[in-house]
Amino acid sequence: MLLWDETLFNNGEVLEFDHLPEYFAHRESQMQALRFSLKPALRGMRPVNCLVKGPPGTGKTTAVMKVFNEMKEYTDSVVLVKVNCQMESTRFAVVSRIYEQLTSIAPPSSGISFRRLFEKVVKFLIDSNKTLVVALDDINYLFPEGHADEVMYSLLRAHEQYPGAKISVIAIISDVGIPYSFDPRVGSVFLPEEVAFPRYEIGEIADIIANRVKHAFFKDVVSDEALDKVVTYVDRTGDLRIGIDLLKRSALNAERRASRTVSVEDVDKAYEASRLLHLCRNIRSLSDNEKTLLGLIAKDSSLQAGELYKSFHDITGLGYTRFYEMIEKMHVSRLIDADFSGKGMRGRTRYVAPAYDSNDILKCLE
């Protein structure tokens, strides 16, 4: 039995989402592609833009940050900035974050225009003779309101208005089934090196999870059976972050029982909480009106599309075109099922239902 001052964790920090692991296996080709794209900056040239894409939890952000850290050891003439687009979801917010990381000074939240703030960013780069590389992490969050094109256009065409400015972009896209495309004006200057991050194979998942176990816990805390169970759960979603969270929650469950080992039962219990990570992360990417619509669907899964639209319109005042676009977006991203039943006029009656348990959706919407 564990005593009050005892713990199963040897180094629990390696189970935090923002931890940058020293051991980063099974992504060497992607790392090499990123290094090759950034290498021109070491010669005073503008780096090659990158489009980093793949399912959630496949190492995209970690790979970019590790390459950034490597590059910092070789040069101080390149400024490497990561922007979390889930948090900074407008053009002004993105440039504010860039300005703050360049100058260590937070700009005022009001009273200054985007143009003026962007000029300050570019002037800093030109005056200091530095190249800027911006990683737009989860740029998905900028697409719904058109901010992605605004941000990309401003950054990638800065040199046209401000000669001498050298800026490149690494756009990190989590592929959750939602179609995306850049405006042709952006595409003509983006011309990225595409770096794909596929789902981890089950053997790769087992290797990575075993390494986290080795560093996070004391010896023999996690049995082979419990480890296999974690790997099985991760393989269902392909999201490694679920496995890392699952390890942490499983060990906390064991500690709650004052046990010195993590059991399969601890893992099963922890999964009830961890399994919602993937769902909740997708739901957080929705706009407020999309969340309202998803909530209506979760509360009544028997509604026809016409009935659903009436309820949605009464709440939001939005028209049918916008409603239809939201339905298609959530259908493609596998949050809902929206199929035609074959009944009604020419078999076009459409029923909309949640693709997940309604209670789970409502919990994530809270």
pLDDT 10s digits, 276-321: 877 887 788 788 899 999 999 999 877 788 899 999 999 999 999 8
Q: State the Cα–Cα distance between residues 122 and 120, nearest whole angstrom.
A: 6
- Determine if residue 59 is labeled as part of a ligand binding site: yes
Indicate where the chain has its CATH 1.10.8.60 domain(s).
12-16+200-280
291 among the known binding-site residues? no
For 23, 124, 279, the CA distances from 201, given in Å and listed in that order, are 17, 44, 21
Query: 90 a known binding residue?
Result: no
Sign (positive/negative) of CA torsion 64, 68, 70, 71? positive
The rounded mean pLDDT for the chain is 89
Numbered ranges of CATH 3.40.50.300 in the chain? 28-196
CATH class in words for 287-365: mainly alpha
Give the Cα separation of 96 and 98 in Å (integer).
5
131 is in an annotated binding site: no
Architecture of domain 12-16+200-280: Orthogonal Bundle (1.10)
61 labelled binding-site residue = yes
Which pLDDT value is given to residue 346?
43
Contact criterion met (CB below 8 Å) for 310 and 294: no
Residue spans in the chain of domains classed CATH 1.10.10.10: 287-365
pLDDT winner (highest mean) among 2-11, 167-176, 346-355? 167-176
> How many angstroms separate the CA atoms of 177 and 278, rounded?
13
Q: Which residues face 354 on adjacent strands?
A: 336
Q: What class, spelled out in words, does domain 28-196 have in CATH?
A: alpha beta
- Kindly state the percentage of the chain with pLDDT values over 90: 64
Q: What is the pLDDT of residues 143-201, one digit of tens each?
A: 867 789 999 999 999 999 999 999 999 999 987 655 578 889 898 999 999 999 999 99
Average pLDDT over residues 328-354: 70
* Whether 215 contacts 14, CB under 8 Å: yes
